[in-house]
């Protein structure tokens, strides 16, 4: 629980890693604290923030959950999060194009505008941006080739043991009409997964227009990368959702 790692308010002490992974922690979806704090002060403000509800009352997607998970990784390993990801995930899998804060911008797509400049190689997400570019909720730059290696390594136990990965995708938390796997989205009515995937499928989306959806029964997965926020941060959300659904229905539906 958070109380095992940090000096947090009483209302947060019982929030567990499971709650953070499944977005059942009761934390609000986002924080505007980036307007006031930067860097480690911003991270502390997120750790100290009181939850809106008790754990397991609802599934409410929150960037704060995964920023907190990043802080736990750093607490346990005594290694900065970007260094940990590079040493334990990216480098061992040969994900040579995957990094936080890329030094070369030759193959980096631009996203939105902030502080009078178009973002390129910096997180589109405000919290990740003002945390310094490294965050648990956003900020990783990658390529289709590298993400193919990542998903394949998960599915074929080259990154973590099969029993660990299977726990993440086989356990499904359902509250009302909302469903989540551990760390991953589960297909639901109207979701970006489309209409063809069963409950065992898993995936995730990114705010800039990215997504991964995987059918473990067939081994087929779809990786989509987009910089839709370069057009508009908010107005293009319905369109990208429609594109995702059509794409996944077309690809996964062709198997039937």
Residue 240's domain spans which residues?
143-251
Query: Which residue in this structure is represented by tokens 């995987």?
Result: 214
Count how many domains the chain has.
Answer: 2
pLDDT at position 256: 60
Could you tell me if 150 and 72 lie in one domain? no
41 part of a folded domain: yes
Q: Express each pLDDT in 20-42 by its tens digit.
A: 999 999 999 999 999 999 999 99
> How much of the chain exceeds pLDDT 90, in percent?
97
Could you tell me if 148 and 64 lie in one domain? no
Whole-prediction pTM value? 0.96
Of 23, 43, 77, the one marking the end of a domain is 77
Residue 5 in contact with residue 72, Cβ under 8 Å?
Answer: yes
Could you tell me if 72 and 149 lie in one domain? no
**CATH number, domain containing residue 208:** 3.40.710.10
- Cβ-count burial 38-56 (b if 16+ within 10 Å, e if not): eeeebbeebbebebeeebe
Residues 6+ apart with CB under 8 A from 102: 108, 121, 141
Of 61, 77, 93, the one marking the end of a domain is 77
Q: How many residues belong to the chain? A: 256
111 part of a folded domain: no
Cα diameter, the chain? 52
Could you tell me if 68 and 154 lie in one domain? no
86 part of a folded domain: no
83 part of a folded domain: no
36 part of a folded domain: yes
Of 77, 102, 130, the one marking the end of a domain is 77
Could you tell me if 73 and 168 lie in one domain? no
pLDDT block averages, 10 residues each, the chain of length 256: 97 98 98 98 98 97 98 98 98 98 96 96 98 98 98 95 95 94 94 94 97 95 97 96 97 85
Query: Which residue in this structure is represented by tokens 């099969």?
Result: 162
147 part of a folded domain: yes
Return the closest-CA partner of residue 147 out of 90, 208, 188, 107.
Answer: 90
110 part of a folded domain: no
């Amino acid at each position: 629980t958070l109380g095992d790692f940090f000096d947090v308010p009483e209302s947060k002490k019982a929030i567990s890693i499971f709650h953070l992974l499944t977005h059942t922690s009761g934390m609000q979806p986002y924080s505007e604290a980036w307007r006031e704090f930067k860097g480690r002060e911003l991270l502390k403000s997120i750790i100290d923030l009181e939850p809106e509800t008790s754990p397991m009352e609802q599934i409410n997607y929150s960037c704060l959950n995964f920023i907190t998970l990043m802080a736990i990784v750093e607490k346990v390993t005594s290694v900065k999060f970007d260094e940990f990801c590079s040493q334990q995930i990216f480098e061992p899998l040969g994900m040579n194009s995957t990094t936080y804060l890329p030094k070369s911008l030759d193959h980096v797509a631009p996203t939105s505008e902030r502080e009078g400049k178009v973002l390129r190689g910096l997180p589109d997400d405000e919290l990740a941006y003002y945390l310094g570019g490294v965050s648990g909720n956003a900020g990783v730059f990658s390529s289709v080739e590298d993400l193919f290696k990542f998903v394949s390594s998960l599915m074929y136990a080259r990154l973590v043991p099969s029993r660990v990965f299977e726990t993440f995708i086989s356990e499904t938390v359902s509250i009302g009409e909302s469903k989540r796997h551990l760390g991953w989205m589960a297909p639901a009515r109207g979701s970006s997964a489309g209409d063809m995937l069963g409950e065992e499928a898993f995936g995730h989306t990114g705010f800039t227009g990215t997504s991964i959806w995987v059918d473990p029964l067939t081994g087929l997965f779809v990786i989509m990368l987009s910089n839709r926020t370069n057009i508009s941060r908010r107005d293009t959300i319905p369109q990208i959702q429609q594109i995702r659904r059509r794409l996944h229905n077309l690809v996964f539906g062709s198997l039937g």
